[in-house]
Structure 1
Amino acid sequence: MRAVNVDGVRSIAEAALAAGVRRLVHCSSVHAFDLYREGTSGVEVDERWPRVPDEPSHFAYDRSKAAGERALREVMGRGLDAVIVHPSGVIGPYDFGPSRMGRMFLQLYRRSLPSLIDGAFDFVDVRDVVAGMLAAQARGENGENYLLTGHTVHVRDIGAIAEAITGVKPPRLVAPIWFARIGVPLFGVAGAVMRQEPLYTHESLSVLATRALRPRQGRARARLHGPAVRRQRARHLRVVRRRGDARQEAPGEQRDADLSRCPAGHGLQDR
């Protein structure tokens, strides 16, 4: 993990500096911020939030993302022009991996998910992340960080959204996080047998337990939302309003097609 998230970032930064690259956009993660600090209930996290310290008490992934940013800043100190973006939970089309969230959607569709989890997190459309990164390249300020977030969504609502598109009802059982933690060892065994990352781990369940935190993309709104993005979003909202209730009654495939045509950047909005 550190070989990619820390050493890999340093190598790319060194190569960019040596090649005279005009700007490097580094895609970090919201998990570079210390989301599990005490006393954070209901607090809005912005780009000034403290980073994860490199201590064993923190999750390895979070530590590696924060350490990757520090490695990049060492090279930036020698003259590299770079900006850093921090997406929240990324979901969207073309998830060929599939990712952990992609596997969850597939299990919902196949009715192989025994229950949902009583938790929530901020999720952002991958197309909005791309739009944010392009905006960071064009309009970002050298050395700045930008949170790229969407909306805080409960896992139960994710199941409802999936049902609206596929017609497959999600599990009726919604397990509390404390109960799901009991099954983590079983998920680990199943993941080892299937040679893939378990759907639920202590880390992923802790993420879903941070629903009181609200990532706030203050700098991204102020710097990256140019007039073109605002006009594009306004046009999209007018189209949605004109459709009215007809959109709610559209067949699942049509709704999916409608969503896929939404302009990039529509999720980067005031919270």
Structure 2
Amino acid sequence: MDERFTTFVTGATGFLGSSVARALVARGHRVSALARPETPRGVLDGLPIAFTPGDLTDPASLALGMAGCDAVIHCAADYRIFVPHPGPMFAVNVAGTEAVMRAAMAAGMRRIVHVSSVATLKPRADGSPATEADAATPAEAIGPYKTSKTEAERLVERMVLEEGLPATIVNPSTPIGPRDRRPTPTGRLILEAARGNMPAYVETGLNLVHVEDCAAGVVAALEHGRLGQRHILGGQDVSLAELLGYIATRYGRRPPFRLPRGPLFPLAFLAETAARVTGREPMLTLDGLRMAGHRMYFTAAHAQAVLGFHARPWREAVDDALGWFTEQGML
């Protein structure tokens, strides 16, 4: 590595962000992290990280955290499939992204990595893997999460073109693995399947990547990513049937059976209505059913060529996720 950065990381206490912080330290970069005072930091225990209390809505804490840094990795995001009120999600994912980019510009950062998502890309109708060229507009995105992430990515792109923002963009696919403490929607699916709580499923396809491989790709983008370009950080394309079947076999259970999408929309509506009363996130959602109508397959060929990105087999990522859930007493 030719250059080491002092890097300000948002979302460092989160799932992907904690792996990014670990990867930065392992590569010899110094790390400063933004964290709310009440947020648990156990996933970063033992790491030489300087914490700044605050959040994305507080410009003063952003400026304080970036002081003495020369690079930013913006990992923080509100990642949920169902939100009863989308406003706070847009405040974090869109307004928060702009606040970080503006603060980075004001602080004179030399390198910025915006951690976006494949949610900003359009799955191909024929089921073939999408590339960085398959950009979606916010109007084409399904649900608040994908819409907000698409708006944020387009914002960063405009700032690169119009204001000279020194940013590169990475688009993780579906990270899975250890330290998914919340867990994420995909982590929750894996956890519930391992518990035997998913007797049935709606077929779809997704791209699975080990969270630590994804984090290594984020750091590689910091070191030599192409400014203004997207880099998909993905692993292997996997059908949901294959994923759930693997987990069922691992625990000696029968694989779940497949359900048609159409008849489930009224049930999803009822599940969301109940969730608004109970405050508990539903397993079945309208946006989830809409997304299931697409094979969310992607290729990481560009990141492999530019960043030297590599992803281990998806089953290893699933095993590591299940192992961590077991160690934490969640499974």
TM-score class normalised by the smaller sequence: 0.7 to 0.9
Is contact 1:120-1:209 (8 Å) kept? no
Identify if the C-alpha distance between structure 1 residues 198 and 170 changes in structure 2 by more than 3 Å, giving closer, same or farther: farther
Aligned length: 232
Residues 107-118 of structure 1: matches in 2 within 5 Å?
107-118=192-203
Identify if the C-alpha distance between structure 1 residues 120 and 142 changes in structure 2 by more than 3 Å, giving closer, same or farther: same
Whole-Å separation in 2 of the counterparts to 1:257 and 1:155: 18
Whole-Å separation in 1 of the counterparts to 2:154 and 2:190: 34
Is contact 1:43-1:214 (8 Å) kept? yes
Is contact 1:32-1:62 (8 Å) kept? yes
Is contact 2:275-2:282 (8 Å) kept? yes
Cα displacement (A) at 1:147? 0.8
Aligned to 2:230: 145
Aligned to 2:10: none
Cα displacement (A) at 1:163? 3.1
* Amino acid across the alignment from 2:90: R
Alignment equivalent of 1:130, drawn from 204, 210, 215: 215
What CA deviation, in whole Å up to 9, does each residue of 1:181-217 have, x standing for no partner? 3421232144335423322222222222212x53122
Check if 1:5 corresponds to 2:93. yes
Check if 1:18 corresponds to 2:106. yes
The structure in which a higher percent of residues are helix is 1
Is contact 1:117-1:177 (8 Å) kept? yes
Residues 86-125 of structure 1: matches in 2 within 5 Å?
86-125=171-210
The 10-residue stretch of structure 1 (197-206 or 145-154) with the greater mean CA deviation from structure 2 = 197-206
Identify if the C-alpha distance between structure 1 residues 178 and 218 changes in structure 2 by more than 3 Å, giving closer, same or farther: same
* Amino acid across the alignment from 1:203: D
Is contact 1:82-1:142 (8 Å) kept? yes
Whole-Å separation in 1 of the counterparts to 2:136 and 2:163: 22
Whole-Å separation in 1 of the counterparts to 2:321 and 2:91: 40
Residues 1-271 of structure 1: matches in 2 within 5 Å?
1-35=89-123, 40-52=125-137, 54-55=138-139, 58-76=142-160, 77-165=162-250, 167-169=251-253, 172-211=256-295, 214-225=297-308, 256=319
* % identical aligned pairs: 30
Identify if the C-alpha distance between structure 1 residues 193 and 92 changes in structure 2 by more than 3 Å, giving closer, same or farther: farther
What CA deviation, in whole Å up to 9, does each residue of 1:130-150 have, x standing for no partner? 011011111211111101111
Query: Superposition RMSD on alpha carbons, in Å?
Result: 3.0
- 2:231 match: secondary structure: strand
Structure 2, unpaired ranges of 5+: 1-88, 324-331
Cα displacement (A) at 1:75? 2.9
Cα displacement (A) at 1:155? 1.7
Identify if the C-alpha distance between structure 1 residues 57 and 18 changes in structure 2 by more than 3 Å, giving closer, same or farther: closer
Whole-Å separation in 2 of the counterparts to 1:190 and 1:103: 19
Is contact 1:5-1:65 (8 Å) kept? yes
Whole-Å separation in 2 of the counterparts to 1:177 and 1:223: 39
* Amino acid across the alignment from 2:256: R
* Amino acid across the alignment from 1:45: A
Whole-Å separation in 2 of the counterparts to 1:6 and 1:59: 14
Structure 1, unpaired ranges of 5+: 238-247, 249-254, 261-271
> Higher RCO, 1 or 2 (CA under 8 Å, sep at least 6)?
1
Whole-Å separation in 1 of the counterparts to 2:254 and 2:212: 25
Whole-Å separation in 1 of the counterparts to 2:170 and 2:141: 25
- 2:163 match: secondary structure: coil
Cα displacement (A) at 1:56? 8.2
Identify if the C-alpha distance between structure 1 residues 132 and 196 changes in structure 2 by more than 3 Å, giving closer, same or farther: farther
- 1:86 match: secondary structure: strand
- 1:45 match: secondary structure: coil
* Amino acid across the alignment from 2:253: K
What CA deviation, in whole Å up to 9, does each residue of 1:169-188 have, x standing for no partner? 25532212223334212321
